[in-house]
């Protein structure tokens, strides 16, 4: 980036914020309104929160000349998605006392709370702090929550991977005390600039930065969608090192073909003791060479695209002071979660529950939120959230398993995963009514779409055949829709771009099949293709591979041809 290039507005804002302090403390203390200024909204993201409003009531309030129904989303930093029973109970209580009474499990293995009004922000954060949970760097131009494979088949290997996720998270966590001063009432200590933020500096990163740790053959964390991933290479039930991937990312902008999702490149291998250093140096290359003039091109994926993977590796080796080793062989076989009971190599049990849309709440047919809280009161293990928005009740002993099963039965939770494989392999972002970027519904609408499609799924004998299906309300890609075999991306109210042909293991981007499809037309559009797949597929052929072979879409071979080779009838 040239020295005289104009910077985006966020860059001087960060520079002049006194390391993310700005006027946040004063604005949060102001009880005369429920919002904060535009500048403070940008800074609040670094502390794990977004200002939102209820868009369902926005028009009605405008007619009555009322202000928007403002509230905040709070996102927790939880490396590896592992939470103690005490932490679960605390978040459950906070959600009831200060939020909308639900817990949202995100695609980065953590909780989100919705509906927290400004007056309750500090109380919520302080309640989290009592159980060693915080929201630092859960959003913003920093390293976000580090995610990791959730289901521990090999407990020692999984423990190593989770430890790496924690170590990376702690090492790359911003050092500014702004969060503690603003939300935990810590007294400000005058410090030197170098001590304040030794890694990030005063302008932090150009955009968000996402890191992932995965253990083949399970790619439930979607390593190809991440800025940086570590793929564990396991020999004799021990991690001997990690393949390193860089340059994945999902977001794009409708109508701007220079923006595109991109799958990550495998660039080398490092031994376990070097992994944290590699993570730091990859982040620093992005800090120094990422785009700071236009935020649409500021993600690491565009830095790698611009430099090329080989060029990025060369610069990374320079920053490291040593060369990454050649990548080792690995193979992924699954992308979704494995539901039901699993017994690990030490004899402990782990139960993966399906959580529709990642939303933990009570319904008349399934009081899941109450049931999980009751389990948390007696659980001797822990909870693990998955990157597919589901929940694992983990490390249950033989002795405690009957007690847990009884509670699962009592609260009608035990059989939540007895759904079609299509439903079980679904992901949706929050979208409406709270996300300010949403162009269409997602979490509230995807179950309807899947229910409509389940008719042809059942008729075609595909009830137990997994097809990845994802819906997001806008093109930013929070639910990783561009890696799905069937992806829906909001284009406008009740309008979706439909994408087909993603790789089942998360290894290939999909391709636009139809543009601006009405929600009620999705069933008619896709049912014949699903039926055709059931009749014409080869043995073991996945839906995403079939639609390419059958000519419904062309294959996307790289992010930079995501918008190319689209069939001409796409707008029909």
C-alpha triplet 524, 527, 528: angle, nearest 5°: 100
User: At 302, is the secondary structure helix, strand, or coil?
Assistant: helix
**Percentage of the chain exceeding pLDDT 90:** 93
Quick one: pLDDT at residue 190?
65
**How many alpha carbons fall within 13 Å on the CB side of residue 435?**
21
Which carries the bigger pLDDT value, residue 390 or residue 192?
390
β-bridge mates for residue 362, sequence order: 367
Q: Please, which pLDDT band fits residue 187 given cuts at 50, 70 and 90? A: confident
β-bridge mates for residue 489, sequence order: 472, 497
CATH classification for the domain delimited by 340-410, as one of 1.10.3720.10, 3.30.365.10, 3.90.480.10, 3.40.50.11810 = 3.90.480.10
Tell me: is residue 366 an annotated ligand-binding position: no
Tell me: is residue 474 an annotated ligand-binding position: yes
**Region(s) of the chain under CATH 3.30.413.10:** 1-7+141-335, 421-571
Tell me: is residue 270 an annotated ligand-binding position: no
Does the pLDDT of residue 432 top 90, yes or no?
yes
Does the pLDDT of residue 193 top 70, yes or no?
no
Query: Helix axis angle, 85-98 relative to 368-378, nearest 10°?
Result: 140
Quick one: pLDDT at residue 570?
56
**Region(s) of the chain under CATH 3.90.480.10:** 340-410
DSSP string, 147-170: EE----SSHHHHHHHHHHHHHHHH
230-283 per-position pLDDT tens digit: 999 999 999 999 999 999 999 999 999 999 999 999 999 999 999 999 999 999
d(CA 264, CA 227): 7
Quick one: pLDDT at residue 418?
87
325-378 per-position pLDDT tens digit: 999 999 999 899 999 999 998 999 999 999 999 999 999 999 999 999 999 999
d(CA 559, CA 483): 11
Average pLDDT over residues 280-306: 98
User: At 340, is the secondary structure helix, strand, or coil?
Assistant: strand
d(CA 519, CA 490): 10
d(CA 112, CA 48): 10
Quick one: pLDDT at residue 196?
84
Does the pLDDT of residue 191 top 90, yes or no?
no
- Using DSSP, how many helices (H) and how many strands (E) does the chain show? 18, 20
541-563 per-position pLDDT tens digit: 999 999 999 999 999 999 999 99
Average pLDDT over residues 225-231: 99
User: At 394, is the secondary structure helix, strand, or coil?
Assistant: strand
Let me know: does 173 contact 242? Beta carbons within 8 Å: no
What homologous superfamily does CATH list for 421-571? Sulfite Reductase Hemoprotein, domain 1 (3.30.413.10)
Let me know: does 368 contact 416? Beta carbons within 8 Å: yes
d(CA 49, CA 43): 9
Let me know: does 390 contact 354? Beta carbons within 8 Å: yes
β-bridge mates for residue 238, sequence order: 235
Quick one: pLDDT at residue 194?
53
Mean pLDDT is lowest, of 2-16, 38-52, 133-147, 222-236, for 2-16
Let me know: does 268 contact 243? Beta carbons within 8 Å: yes
Average pLDDT over residues 181-209: 87
Does the pLDDT of residue 5 top 70, yes or no?
yes
Let me know: does 342 contact 352? Beta carbons within 8 Å: yes
C-alpha triplet 319, 306, 568: angle, nearest 5°: 150
Q: Please, which pLDDT band fits residue 4 given cuts at 50, 70 and 90? A: low
What kind and span of H or E run contains 547?
A: helix 543-549
466-509 per-position pLDDT tens digit: 999 999 999 999 999 999 999 999 999 999 999 999 999 999 99
Quick one: pLDDT at residue 195?
66
Quick one: pLDDT at residue 138?
97
Let me know: does 180 contact 48? Beta carbons within 8 Å: no
**How many alpha carbons fall within 13 Å on the CB side of residue 52?**
24
Quick one: pLDDT at residue 251?
95
DSSP string, 195-220: HH-TTT-TT--SS-B-EEEEBTTB-T
Quick one: pLDDT at residue 2?
41
d(CA 88, CA 96): 13
Q: Are strands 211-214 and 147-148 parallel, antiparallel or unpaired?
A: parallel
d(CA 162, CA 182): 30
Tell me: is residue 429 an annotated ligand-binding position: yes
Residues with catalytic roles: 75, 144, 208, 210, 429, 435, 474, 478
Read off φ and ψ for residue 512, nearest 5 degrees. Answer: -60, 125
d(CA 200, CA 208): 12
Let me know: does 87 contact 95? Beta carbons within 8 Å: no
**How many alpha carbons fall within 13 Å on the CB side of residue 465?**
20
The mean pLDDT of the chain is: 96
d(CA 390, CA 424): 9
Quick one: pLDDT at residue 572?
44
Average pLDDT over residues 27-56: 97
C-alpha triplet 385, 221, 172: angle, nearest 5°: 85
Which structure tokens are listed for 266?
């495998």
Query: Helix axis angle, 275-289 relative to 155-172, nearest 10°?
Result: 40
Quick one: pLDDT at residue 192?
52
Does the pLDDT of residue 45 top 90, yes or no?
yes
118-131 per-position pLDDT tens digit: 999 999 999 999 99
Q: DSSP letter at 493?
A: T
What homologous superfamily does CATH list for 1-7+141-335? Sulfite Reductase Hemoprotein, domain 1 (3.30.413.10)
Let me know: does 297 contact 542? Beta carbons within 8 Å: no
β-bridge mates for residue 230, sequence order: 213, 244
């Amino acid at each position: 980036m040239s020295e005289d290039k104009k910077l985006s507005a966020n860059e001087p804002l960060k520079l002049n914020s006194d390391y993310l302090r700005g006027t946040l403390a004063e604005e949060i203390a102001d009880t005369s309104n429920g919002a904060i200024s535009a500048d403070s909204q940008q800074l609040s993201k670094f502390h794990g929160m977004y200002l939102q409003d209820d868009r369902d009531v926005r028009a009605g309030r405008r007619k009555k000349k009322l202000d928007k129904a403002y509230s905040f989303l709070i996102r927790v930093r939880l490396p590896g998605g592992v939470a103690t029973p005490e932490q679960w109970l605390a978040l459950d209580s906070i959600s009831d006392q200060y939020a909308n009474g639900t817990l949202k499990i995100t695609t980065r293995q953590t909780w989100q709370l919705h509906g927290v009004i400004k007056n309750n922000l500090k109380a919520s954060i302080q309640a989290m702090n009592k159980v060693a949970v915080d929201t630092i760097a859960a959003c913003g131009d920093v390293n976000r929550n580090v995610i990791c494979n959730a289901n521990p088949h090999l407990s020692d290997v999984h423990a190593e991977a989770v430890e790496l996720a924690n170590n990376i998270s702690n090492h790359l966590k911003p050092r500014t005390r702004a969060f503690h001063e603003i939300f935990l009432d810590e007294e400000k200590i005058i410090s030197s600039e170098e001590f304040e933020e030794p890694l990030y500096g005063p302008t932090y990163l150009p955009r968000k930065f996402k890191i992932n740790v995965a253990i083949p053959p399970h790619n439930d964390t979607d390593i190809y969608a991440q800025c940086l991933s570590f793929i564990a290479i396991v020999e004799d039930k021990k991690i001997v090192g990690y393949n390193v991937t860089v340059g994945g990312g999902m977001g794009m902008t409708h109508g701007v073909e220079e923006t595109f999702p991109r799958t990550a490149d495998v660039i080398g291998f490092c031994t376990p003791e070097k992994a944290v250093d590699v993570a730091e140096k990859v982040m620093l290359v992005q800090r120094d060479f990422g785009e700071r003039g236009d935020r649409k091109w500021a993600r690491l994926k565009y830095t790698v695209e611009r430099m090329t993977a080989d060029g990025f590796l060369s610069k990374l080796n320079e920053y490291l002071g040593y060369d990454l080793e050649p990548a080792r062989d690995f193979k992924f076989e699954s992308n979704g979660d494995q539901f039901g009971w699993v017994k690990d190599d030490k004899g402990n049990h782990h139960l993966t529950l399906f959580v529709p849309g990642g939303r933990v709440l009570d319904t008349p047919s399934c009081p899941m939120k109450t049931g999980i809280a009751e389990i948390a009161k007696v659980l001797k293990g822990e909870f693990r959230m998955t990157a597919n928005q589901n929940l694992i009740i983990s490390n249950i002993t033989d002795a405690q398993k009957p007690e847990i099963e009884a509670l699962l039965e009592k609260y009608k939770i035990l059989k939540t995963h007895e759904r079609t494989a299509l439903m079980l392999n679904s992901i949706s972002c929050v979208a409406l009514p709270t996300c300010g970027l949403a162009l269409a519904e997602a979490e509230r609408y995807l179950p309807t779409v899947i229910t409509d499609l389940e008719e042809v799924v059942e008729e075609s004998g595909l009830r137990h055949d997994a097809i990845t299906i994802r819906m997001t309300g806008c093109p930013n890609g929070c639910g990783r829709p561009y890696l799905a075999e069937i992806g829906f991306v909001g284009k406008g109210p009740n309008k979706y771009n439909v994408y087909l042909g993603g790789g089942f293991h998360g290894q290939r981007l999909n391709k636009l099949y139809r543009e601006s499809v009405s929600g009620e037309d999705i069933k008619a559009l896709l049912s014949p293709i699903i039926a055709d797949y059931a009749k014409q597929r080869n043995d073991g052929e996945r839906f995403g591979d079939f639609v390419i072979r059958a000519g419904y879409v062309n294959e996307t071979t790289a992010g930079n041809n995501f918008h190319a080779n689209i069939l001409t009838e796409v707008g029909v």
